[in-house]
Chains A and B, each alone.
Chain A
Amino acid sequence: MKRFLTYVRLQLRRAARLLPRMLAVTLLLAVLTALSALLIAGLHAGDKAAAEPVRIGLVGDLEENMLAEGLQMLESMDSSRFSIRFEPMDETEAAAALRRGRIDGYAVIPAGFAEAMMRGEHRPIRYVSASGGADLGAQLMRELAETISRLVLETENAVYGAQDYVAEKIPEINPYWAGDMLVFRYALRLMDRERLYDLETADPDGALSLPGYYLCGLSLLFLMLWAISCAPLFSGRSRELGRLLQADGLGAAGQVLAEFLSYVLLMLCGLLAAGILAGLLLGRFGLRIPELEVGLPHFVLGALPTALMLCALQFLLFELAGGTVGGVLLQFLSAVLQGYLAGCFYPTSMFPEGLRRFGAALPAGAGMARLQALLLHDPAGIGVVWLWLALLLTAAALLRRRQNRS
């Protein structure tokens, strides 16, 4: 026990020597995280940004009768007039405008598109977006194109079916006239401005606001990347010392615990500095996170078990890697990969079910779930976090024991 306490004291002293360097890196990371938070908040805060229409370039023969009329119709509709702006241009112009960010994407309409459609031929429209089809906008466009295709096809079937019925059963009515009337009525219904469509954003109880979600994501990412600043604490460790201590009675578990405590001390200092900085920035820029009404200190304190668990993960990764370069690389890869799967970059609701479950089962996923629950004043997930902490520390102790015996 005496040797353990002496080792703890010396490890704390060692950590204190690294404190200035670690604080500098922490502050840098905190500033970067805060800037990201401000950027995200700025994107979602203003109504002005939300009202900005999507700009779509249109490439193709727009003089074609039906297409021109269709576009004119779309542009006259109240809803689309405020949400989408079409700009006719040639493909070179469109590509340049997309590169400069002047438009969000452009659609290339093949020659004779409308006439071909009337003849039942399939000539696909090509949609080009800056992200190569990986963004949400491109996916929505694809979904919309498919919906419209189906709508046109089904309407056409219904009109021709009705026309055939009239021709067969009601001989006193001209079937072509009946067909035209059906199309007109359908168009009138479609054009009914009041009942066309609307989009409502649901905000049910028990769900996080977007800024709240990103606060959790960025906090988690910050806690995971922060370990990089502590690389010297781990890479400078002598394996010979571990062996001698083990032979002298201070086993692997004791060594790991003592070193982990010093790491936790560093983490607490870093978390405190980052918390103060975040509080100052939130106040300075008037950034409001609805779930944080109880105060940032409450969130920082509540996040401690998650921070401890992530420290244990980082400890284990440094133990696995051994050297500085390997350790830093492993930490970075782990932070980015686990952060992605935990939903730090994109909400996990966009992922396939299997991937979502896998991400949630990882330590970062458990941490993210706990931070989100914390913001919603829900005790859920705390047990999983403690369990992960115990598992990771046990794994680190077993690894150390193996190293000491080699």
Chain B
Amino acid sequence: MEAEILDIQKKYGRKEVLRGTSFRIAPGSCLGILGANGSGKSTLLKILAGVLRPNAGRFLWQGEDLLRHPRLRASQVAYVPQGTPLIEELSARDNLRLWYEPEALARSLDGGVLRQLGLDEFLRTPANQLSGGMRKRLSIGCALANDPVILLLDEPTAALDLVAKERILRCFENFRQSGGLLIMASHDPWELELCDEWRLLRGGVLEPYAYTGERSRLIRDLEQP
């Protein structure tokens, strides 16, 4: 069963950011969305996550429009934003408690995804004392609370060192291999290599893109109006 995004449109005032964006994505695959700054990548992900309301469009999953069924969307879709959605003064465990049922939290820490992310290493540490990599792992851990099928990622490893990057990307790979579906906005070659399909968002339109890993070509394509 594929997820289908149909004719998503978004305007900020008179500025048309997304002009009828449509695509399909199959479970167990990863879609990389490329685009220059301000091209609308984050807006698209926010719409799919239910943070922003589109002017038009549908997000179909198992025959249901997730944009019109918030409860179903919340149980199926997880979103990891660029910033850190954490309560800074509270420990990692307290932050996880906001999203997890107590039993589910214990299970996940015991051998589930939170263990894979290595969150058990710093459960008692306040979020504002964690490194950038730890904070991102904690944010991903929070997002995965409902065992989602679709994971939306907005530049998930930006500004992280290679070790932290590697650890997080491994977690995404595991998610994909277990049948999960990833949609990732990114410029990072490491992240893009994880994807098996790429699309370039330019002028509010999402076009198929053949990513080769060649940086000069990517820069040239991003610079084109």
B90 and A240 contact, CB distance less than 8 A: no
Q: Does B87 contact A (CB under 8 A)?
A: yes
Secondary structure at chain A's binding surface: helix, strand, loop or mixed? helix
Please indicate the chain B residues that have their CB under 8 angstroms from the CB of A6 in the complex: 97-98
Contact with B along A374-406 (1 / 0, CB 8 A): 000000000000000000000000000000110
CA A249 – CA B70 in complex, angstroms? 7
List chain B residues, Cβ under 8 A from A236: 88-89, 128
Q: Which residues of A contact B53 (CB under 8 A)?
A: 405
A246-B51, A247-B74, A248-B74 known; A10-B85 Cβ under 8 A:
no
Q: Identify the stretch in A12-20, A303-311, A320-328 within 8 Å (CB) of chain B at 4 or more residues.
A: A12-20
Which of the four size classes fits the interface of chain B?
20 to 34
Bound together, the chains give a CA A248 to CA B145 distance in angstroms of 12
Q: Which of A256-296 contact B (CB under 8 A)?
A: none
Contact indicator A404/B51 (Cβ below 8 Å)? yes
Given A10-B98, A14-B89, A14-B90; A240-B50 close (CB under 8 Å): no
Choose among B49, B84, B94 the residue that contacts A238 (Cβ–Cβ < 8 A).
B84
Known: A10-B97, A14-B89, A246-B51. A240 touches B70 (CB 8 A): no
Is A239 located at the chain interface by the 8 A CB criterion? yes
- Is A7 close to B, CB under 8 A? yes
B168 within 8 A of A: no
Q: Whole-angstrom distance from the CB of B45 to the nearest CB of chain A? A: 11
Interface string of A10-35 (1 = CB under 8 A from B): 11011001100000000000000000
> Complex formed: what's the CA distance from A241 to B85 in Å?
4
Contact A13-B94, Cβ < 8 Å, known A240-B84, A249-B74: yes
Instruction: Output the least CB separation between B85 and chain A (Å).
Output: 4
- Contacting residues, chain A, for B52 (C-beta < 8 A): 405
A244 nearest in chain B by CB position: B85
Contact with A along B94-132 (1 / 0, CB 8 A): 100110000000000000000000000000000010000
**Closest Cβ–Cβ distance, residue B186 to chain A (whole Å):** 18
Q: Which residues of the partner chain A approach B73 to less than 8 Å between Cβ atoms?
A: 247
- Chain B nearest CB, measured from A161 CB (Å): 79
Min CB–CB distance A257 → chain B (angstroms): 16
Q: Give the contacts of A1-58 with B (CB-CB under 8 A).
A: 3, 6-7, 10-11, 13-14, 17-18
Q: Are A247 and B51 in contact (CB under 8 A)?
A: yes
Which of A3, A10, A239 is the one whose CB lies under 8 Å from B90? A10
A17 to B89, CA, bound (A): 8
A238 touches B79 (CB 8 A): no
Give the number of A-B contacts (CB < 8 Å): 62
Q: Which residues of B contact A232 (CB under 8 A)?
A: 89
The answer for the CA separation of A3 and B145 in the assembled complex, in Å, is 13
Q: Is A243 an interface residue (CB 8 A)?
A: yes
Chain B nearest Cβ from A405, distance in angstroms: 6
Does B71 sit at the interface, judged by CB under 8 A?
yes
**In the complex, residue of chain A having the shortest beta-carbon distance to the beta carbon of B70:** A249
Q: Separation in Å of the B37 CB from the closest CB of chain A? A: 17
Q: Report the separation of the CA atoms of residues A75 and B50 in the bound assembly, to the nearest whole angstrom.
A: 84
Say yes or no: A244 contacts B51, CB within 8 Å.
yes
List B46-86 residues whose CB lies under 8 Å from chain A. 46, 49-53, 70-71, 73-74, 79, 81-86
B83/A239 in contact, CB under 8 A: yes
B71 contacts across to A, CB distance below 8 A: 249
Q: B85 and A13: CB pair below 8 A?
A: no
Q: Is the CB of B90 within 8 A of A247?
A: no
B116 to chain A, nearest CB (A): 21
User: For A238, what are the chain B residues with a Cβ–Cβ distance below 8 Å?
Assistant: 83-88
Asked if A247 and B49 sit within 8 Å, CB to CB, the answer is: yes
Contact A244 B81 (CB under 8 A): yes
Asked whether A240 and B85 contact (CB < 8 A) given A247-B74, A247-B79, A404-B51, the answer is yes
How far, in Å, is B71 (CB) from chain A's closest CB? Answer: 7
Task: Give the complex CA separation of A17 and B127 in angstroms.
Answer: 13
Taking CB atoms, residues of chain A closer than 8 Å to B50 are 247
| Residues of B close to A404: CB separation below 8 A | 51
Chain A positions within 8 Å of B49 at CB level:
244, 247
Q: Which residues of A contact B (CB under 8 A)?
A: 3, 6-7, 10-11, 13-14, 17-18, 232, 236, 238-241, 243-244, 246-249, 404-405
In the complex, 14 of the A-B residue pairs with CB atoms within 8 angstroms, ordered by the A residue number, are A6-B97, A7-B98, A18-B89, A236-B88, A236-B128, A238-B84, A238-B85, A238-B86, A240-B81, A243-B51, A243-B81, A244-B81, A247-B74, A248-B74
Sample of 7 more A-B contacts, CB < 8 Å, known A238-B84, A240-B85: A10-B94, A244-B51, A244-B79, A247-B74, A249-B70, A249-B71, A405-B51
Could you tell me which B residues sit within 8 Å of A by CB distance? 46, 49-53, 70-71, 73-74, 79, 81-90, 94, 97-98, 128
Q: 5 closest Cβ contacts across the A-B interface? A: A247-B50, A240-B85, A241-B85, A240-B83, A243-B51
